[in-house]
Amino acid sequence: MRKTGFVCHESYFWHDTGNGALFLPPGGWIESDIHSENPATKRRFKNLLERSGLASSLTHLEPRLATREQVQLYHAPEYVDKVKKLSDTTGGDAGELALVGSGSYEIALLSTGGALTAVDAVMTGQVDNVYALTRPPGHHAEKELGMGFCLFNNVAIAATYARKMYNLKRILVLDWDVHHGNGTESAFYDDSGVLFISLHQEMNFPPERGFAEHVGEGGGEGFNVNIPLPAGTGNAGYMYAFETVVKPIVDQFQPELILLSAGQDPNMFDPLARMMVTAEGFRAFTSFMLKLADKHCEGRLIACHEGGYSAPYVPFCSLAIVEEMSGIRTEVEDPFIAAMYKIPTNELYDIQKQYVDQVKEIQSKYWNMAYQASL
C-alpha cells in the first residue's frame, strides 16, 4: 500500500464555462446544453471516491494559490493580465476555446497551486504520489494563449517549479489525454531536461500538432516524443505503445520525477474523442507508470487531471487510477463493462501497431528502442 495524496478544492467546481452545445457558445441552430468542460465529471469522481470509502484512506492536501511569479514561470505577463481582466469583468475567451468566467483567474491560480502543492508533497516525502483533481485543466495552454478549455498550464509550471525548487535535472511529463498536449510540448521543445511524451488520437485537437516527426529542436531534439494513435485504439494499442516506446525511452532517460497529464477522454464513451479505453485500461496505464516511478525516482509520481467529458464514465476511469496509485481496491466495479461485451478493446490491430512502430523508427535515431534495463 502506498501513501497517496489527493488535491481538490470546492472552488474548482465553480469555474464557470457557461452554456452551449459541446464547445460552441449559445445561439445558432441548436438549443443550448451545458458546456463540455463543466464540473460534472470531476464532481462525480470526487463523489465516487467518497462513496466508495477510498477518500478516507487518502492524504488530503489543501491547494494554495499559485503566485503570479510562479504562473509566469511559463506564461507571458501580458497573457496573465488578459485572463485577470476577463475574470474581473464579464468573462470571455482567453484565446481559442479557453473560456474565462467571473472569478476564473483566482480559481486558475488555485488549480496551478494544486499542482505545486502536489510537487512539494512528493518531493518532501509527505506522500508517495498524488492525484490532483484540478480545474480548469492546463495542457493546451500556450505561453501567450489559452486554448482548448485550458487557462494556465498546470503541469508545465509544476515541472519548471520542481526543477527550480528541488534542483531536479530530469523530469518526465507523460500525457495520455486523448488530445495532444501542445502547450506542454511548446514549453520544453528545446529542453533536454524535460522528456515530454504524448499519447493521443491523431488529428483530433489541436490541428496540425502532435505528429510523430515533431521530436524537439536544438538541445531538446529527441526529448519530445509524440505517439499519435488511430481512432478506435483501445487498451491493447495503448499498452503496446507503453511497452515498446515509453519504457525503453524512460529507462534510458531515468527521470527524477514523473508528472502525468491524466485526461480520461480516451475512454470509449467520450463525446470529444473516438478511442476505446476502459476503466481497466486506465488502471493498467497507471500500474505501468508506477513501476517506472519505483524504478527510477523512488515512486515520485503526480497525476494532474486534464480532460474527460463523459460524466457517467470518467469517474470510474479516474477511480481505477487512484485505486492503483494507493494500492487499495474498493468494492466498486465498472457498471458499463457489460456494454463492452465483444468490443475488442483488448485486441491489438495491425494499423495500431503500424502507428506505434513508425514512432519507434523515428525515435531510434535518438534512443535505443531495444533497450532493456534490469529485466
Q: One digit per residue, pLDDT tens: the chain, 375 residues?
A: 899 999 999 999 999 998 888 888 888 888 888 899 999 999 999 999 999 999 999 999 999 999 999 999 999 999 999 999 999 998 999 999 999 999 999 999 999 999 999 999 999 999 999 999 999 999 999 999 999 999 999 999 999 999 999 999 999 999 999 999 999 999 999 999 999 999 999 999 999 999 999 999 999 999 999 999 999 999 999 999 999 999 999 999 999 999 999 999 999 999 999 999 999 999 999 999 999 999 999 999 999 999 999 999 999 999 999 999 999 999 999 999 988 878 889 999 999 999 999 999 999 999 999 876 544
At residue 19, the pLDDT reads 87
Q: Quick one: how far is CA 211 from the chain centroid?
A: 18
CA atoms of 132 and 306, how far apart (whole Å): 10
Q: Which H or E element spans position 130?
A: strand 129-132
Which of 140, 180, 200, 214 is flagged as catalytic?
140
Q: 139 an active-site residue?
A: no
Q: How many CA atoms lie within 13 A of 246 on its CB side?
A: 28
Give the residue extent of every domain in the chain: 4-20+32-364
Q: Which string of DSSP letters, residue by residue, matches 191-215? A: -TTEEEEEEEETT-SSTT---TT--
CA atoms of 42 and 375, how far apart (whole Å): 38
- CATH number of this structure's domain 4-20+32-364: 3.40.800.20
CA atoms of 276 and 227, how far apart (whole Å): 16
User: Which residues, including other chains, have CB under 8 Å from residue 125's CB and lie 6 or more apart?
Assistant: none
At residue 372, the pLDDT reads 65
At residue 374, the pLDDT reads 42
Spatial contact of 43 and 308, defined as CB atoms under 8 Å apart: no
> Which position has the grid cell 476502459?
278
